[in-house]
Amino acid sequence: MNSQKKEVLLLVGAGQIGMAIARRMGYGKKIVIGDKNPQNAGTIARIMNDAGFDTAAVEMDLSSRSSIRALIDAAKAYGDIAMLVNAAGVSPSQAPVETILHVDLYGTAVLLEEVGAVIRPGGVGVTISSQSGHRMPALTPQEDRLLATTPAEELLGLDILQPQNIRDTLHAYQLAKRCNEKRVMAEAVQWGKKGARINSISPGIVITPLAADELNGPRGGFYRNMFAKCPAGRPGTADEIANVAELLMSDRGAFITGADFLIDGGATASYFYGPLQPQQEG
């Protein structure tokens, strides 16, 4: 169908962070943008095309394996998939517990698995997790292993993910992001068999439309207090996340795989050892 094949950068999630990374890494490639909201995907595609990139927008649902496969098939029509940027997800103020688990946890696991099956040798991926995965108390080694290695279709059946064991949407989000980090470690072993790499980035508060929903939501005061009391004293920008993604996805990051990078202005450090520590009860 396409006379000239290109390497493909697969961008899942049409948002500011994903676009910032794609602008760093997508020159000379076909950038295929998948998003549940086709208007969002179209908007990012138009912005990037106007800046000289070569993009195509595809409607896709991260919570559906068949939809993920359809996106991959659409991307493969342009050439070999060389890069994955997964910046899709829903936040605790945007969705109920079930949706967070289906999209952020299950969907990410399926995406890493499906792209890992087709990524070209030398390929690389990065998935956007969250500082929230670092806030939750440590899980047992067995729970971590289950999150990392349970077949994706069985993940949502784990005891730790049953409704009675999840307090609220924030707890569900923390579990999803912890699972993302563990999943990246396990998938790095599989991707490595093809000579490919996969890492995750855990941003703190980055000013995007999604973050605006949080700042204007029920936990808005909590988040404003967070960046007021973190060492950086401010929220981050999408380009600061892209700075690290560029390292991870370039040849300079050739020895980095299966790792997670916390980029939160020190908010998590302050949460454990500074003024953001939760008040101890009793």
Residues designated as active site:
173, 177
- Hey, CA dihedral for 229, 215, 162, 34, is it positive or negative? negative
CA distance 180 to 174: 10
**CB-CB neighbours of 57 under 10 Å:** 23
The C-alpha atoms of residue 233 and residue 265 are separated, in whole angstroms, by 7
Give the count of beta carbons closer than 10 Å to the beta carbon of residue 108.
28
Residue 221 Cα to chain centre, angstroms: 25
Q: What is the side-by-side order of every strand in the sheet holding 30-35?
A: 54-59, 30-35, 8-12, 81-86, 124-128, 197-203, 260-263
DSSP 103: I
Contacts of 243 (CB under 8 A, 6+ apart): none
Distance CA 153, CA 143 (A): 17
